[in-house]
């Protein structure tokens, strides 16, 4: 009898790192689809060790190079547009991928590849009783 697994067999569809839904203030600088220089401040929708998903008013083209700056640390790195998503409220979802690895850019520890929300460490914060034991 065959077993069904949730693991993709095609490695090109498998994520290299887990996404974390997190808003981080960033600045994007580059050239739009018309060749005009753009600079836009926004927040990430999701981050991972390889880049971010952002909402931008500027229209970028797939593969174009931009500079991504973390507003809190002022660290800045080159990225390319890896995904052009749907527009909403005049802004488009843009997937940015670092041109070279920068695993500490976001200053967060990403869950391992095999992590799921059902993982024991995914439970909410433990509540302690007055006697110091967990509920």
Work out the pLDDT band at 125, boundaries 50, 70, 90: low
Count of C-beta atoms within a 10 Å radius of residue 87:
13
DSSP state of 20: B
DSSP state of 12: G
User: Greater confidence, 83 or 7?
Assistant: 83
**Tens-digit pLDDT profile for residues 44-67:** 999 999 999 999 999 999 999 999
**Tens-digit pLDDT profile for residues 15-29:** 566 788 999 999 999
Write down the domain spans for the chain. Answer: 17-111
CATH 2.40.10.220 is the classification of domain 17-111: yes
User: Greater confidence, 124 or 75?
Assistant: 75
CA dihedral 90, 23, 82, 19 (to 10 degrees): -130
User: Greater confidence, 71 or 13?
Assistant: 71
Mean pLDDT, the chain, rounded, equals: 81
What does residue 121 show for φ and ψ, rounded to 5 degrees? -80, -5
pLDDT above 90 covers what percent of the chain?
Answer: 60
Query: pLDDT at position 103, please?
Result: 84
| Residue 68: its H or E element | strand 65-70
Q: Does the pLDDT at position 3 exceed 50? A: no
Work out the pLDDT band at 7, boundaries 50, 70, 90: very low
């Amino acid at each position: 009898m065959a077993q069904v697994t949730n693991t993709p067999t095609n490695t090109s569809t498998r994520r290299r790192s887990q996404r974390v839904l997190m808003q981080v203030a960033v600045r994007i600088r580059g050239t739009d689809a018309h060749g005009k220089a753009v600079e836009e401040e926004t927040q990430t929708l999701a981050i991972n060790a390889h880049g971010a998903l952002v909402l931008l008013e500027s229209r970028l083209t797939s593969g174009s190079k931009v500079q991504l700056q973390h507003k809190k640390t002022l660290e800045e790195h080159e990225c390319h547009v890896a995904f052009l998503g749907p527009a909403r409220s005049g802004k488009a979802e843009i997937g940015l991928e670092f041109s070279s690895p920068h695993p500490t850019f976001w200053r967060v520890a990403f869950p391992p590849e095999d992590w799921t929300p059902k993982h024991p460490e995914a439970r909410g914060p433990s509540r302690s009783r007055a006697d110091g034991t967990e509920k």
